[in-house]
Amino acid sequence: MRVFKFGGASVKDADGVRNVIKVLDKTGFSDLVIVVSAMGKTTNALENVVEVYLKKDNGFKKEIQNIEEYHNQIVEDLFENKQHPVFEKIKSLFLDMKTLLGRNKSTQHDFIYDQIVCYGELVSTTIISEYLNHRGYTNDWLDARDFIKTDSVYRDTEVNWSTTQQNIAQKTNKKGLSITQGFIGSDNNNFTTTLGREGSDYTAGIFAYCLNADSVSIWKDVPGVLNADPRVFNTTQLLSHISYEEAIELAFYGASVIHPKTIQPLQRKEIPLYVKSFLNPEGLGTSVKKGQPLDPHLPCYIVKKNQILLSLSSLDFSFIVEDNMSQIFSLFHEYQIKVGLIQNSAISFSVCLEDKFIHFDELLVKLKAKFRVTYNTNVSLFTIRHFTDEAIMSLEKDKDILLKQITRETYQMVSR
């Protein structure tokens, strides 16, 4: 049993969907679960629908129309027969979304987000499943919400592993070809939940763990895991194989190729992970397995933009000690703030934060009641794993550095 994951860039248009078949022809398509993300930039577009809708602006209807037209064009390019059932299925999904928004009474952003953004994956997998059937690749379409059960922390939910494992083990066809959605699950009330942005990789890891899969393959628009993001750095090199531990470190610091939670379930059962190019399925790619050294042993550069550098000091110049730390991190947890770097002295405490749920302003109110607060928004957090002096000098050149920190294997710098 194998698990494949195709991201949005790999299925952004009709040619991308056709290329899925080319990959399957080279790799085989039996005993396989395929996890698929929303097509292209659909998740971004649906996030915008949510924002416009919550402003009570009817412009969200036009936004939905644009998304529907984008998918209809892909379907028209794939199916010559305009009476094919896929056209009605896509129309029905968009009608469901519009009806949901029309009847919704909730004003909770994160709840509405999960109920709407999930349609990206529901539509993409419907199109791909129908196209594979059309081309003779018989498959089962699985609604991931019937399999992956979670708590009710919308947008950043935790998996109920015992129920999920039971569902996947009992309901999945282990001998054929199945298509399911990345990123989504459901809570005990059967409301849709999401696993965190870019969570489709994690879905692949969940299915692999529950099925005792032989391997997971993530198909990307890059040749594998690179030592830097080619969109940011001019020169990059392929990491041909790395250990689970190193992959977790890279993902934690913000490497975008693998979702941070993906590795943990695979590592527990020693299921190998392969990151490969959907444009070159037979290429070497990157393998992530137990005990592998980083090869080649290169500095790995990671950048996270749109961060916040927050500095706190006590109002009475007393020490920032364990009790203060506990209060601060409790507030970070309450407001879903992610911490990427920590540095403290006797009377001050600095952290680099990611505010992906837009709760920082609420957090500030609480912090200012207890601490003297300064902060910088829209800063960048740079990390080098396995740094060298040359790598640091190159990265620091021409940058306005606000903070930096070096440990045995990792260099971090905040700049604006």
Residue ending a domain, among 192, 220, 248, is: 220
Is the same domain home to 23 and 167? Answer: yes
CA distance 397 to 203: 39
Provide the residue range defining the domain that includes 311: 300-415
Specify the 3-state DSSP secondary structure of 103. helix
Quickly state the pLDDT bin for 228 (edges 50, 70, 90).
very high
Residue ending a domain, among 198, 220, 242, is: 220
Quickly state the pLDDT bin for 308 (edges 50, 70, 90).
very high
Statement: residue 195 has pLDDT above 80: yes
Which residue's structure tokens are 């003297």? 372
CATH number at residue 406: 3.30.2130.10
Query: CA-CA-CA-CA torsion for 15, 19, 21, 26, nearest 10 degrees?
Result: 160
Rg (CA), the chain: 23
Which residue, 236, 348, 349, 355, is CA-closest to 286?
236
121 is in an annotated binding site: yes
How many C-beta atoms surround the C-beta of residue 216 within 10 A?
Answer: 27
The DSSP annotation for 355-401 comes to -TTS-HHHHHHHHHTTEEEEEEEEEEEEEEET--HHHHHHHHTT--E
Q: Does 238 map to a domain?
A: no
At 348 the pLDDT is: 84
CA distance 37 to 14: 15
Q: Does 95 map to a domain?
A: yes
290 is in an annotated binding site: no
Q: Which two tokens stand for residue 2?
A: 């194998």
At 252 the pLDDT is: 86
Q: Does 276 map to a domain?
A: no
CA angle 407, 233, 259 (to 5 degrees): 65
| pTM exceeds cut of 0.85 | yes
42 is in an annotated binding site: no
Is the same domain home to 363 and 214? Answer: no
CA distance 107 to 13: 34
Is the same domain home to 172 and 313? Answer: no
**With contact defined as beta carbons under 8 Å apart, do 333 and 348 qualify?**
no
129's enclosing H/E stretch is helix 119-134
224 is in an annotated binding site: no
Is the same domain home to 72 and 215? Answer: yes
Is the same domain home to 24 and 166? Answer: yes
Lowest-pLDDT range of 14-18, 295-299, 330-334, 363-367: 295-299
Q: What percent of the chain has pLDDT over 70?
A: 100
At 346 the pLDDT is: 78
Is the same domain home to 49 and 139? Answer: yes
Statement: residue 257 has pLDDT above 80: no
Q: Does 35 map to a domain?
A: yes
At 260 the pLDDT is: 78
Q: Dihedral of CA 96/98/104/108: which sign? A: positive
Residue ending a domain, among 220, 248, 271, is: 220
Statement: residue 179 has pLDDT above 80: yes
Is the same domain home to 202 and 351? Answer: no
390 is in an annotated binding site: no
At 347 the pLDDT is: 79
Specify the 3-state DSSP secondary structure of 113. helix
* Phi, psi (degrees; rounded to nearest 5) at 179: -120, 130
**With contact defined as beta carbons under 8 Å apart, do 170 and 228 qualify?**
no
Give 376's strand partners: 309
At 381 the pLDDT is: 97
Q: Does 48 map to a domain?
A: yes
Q: Does 117 map to a domain?
A: yes
Domain count, the chain: 2
What is the arithmetic mean of pLDDT over 81-104? 97
Statement: residue 256 has pLDDT above 80: no
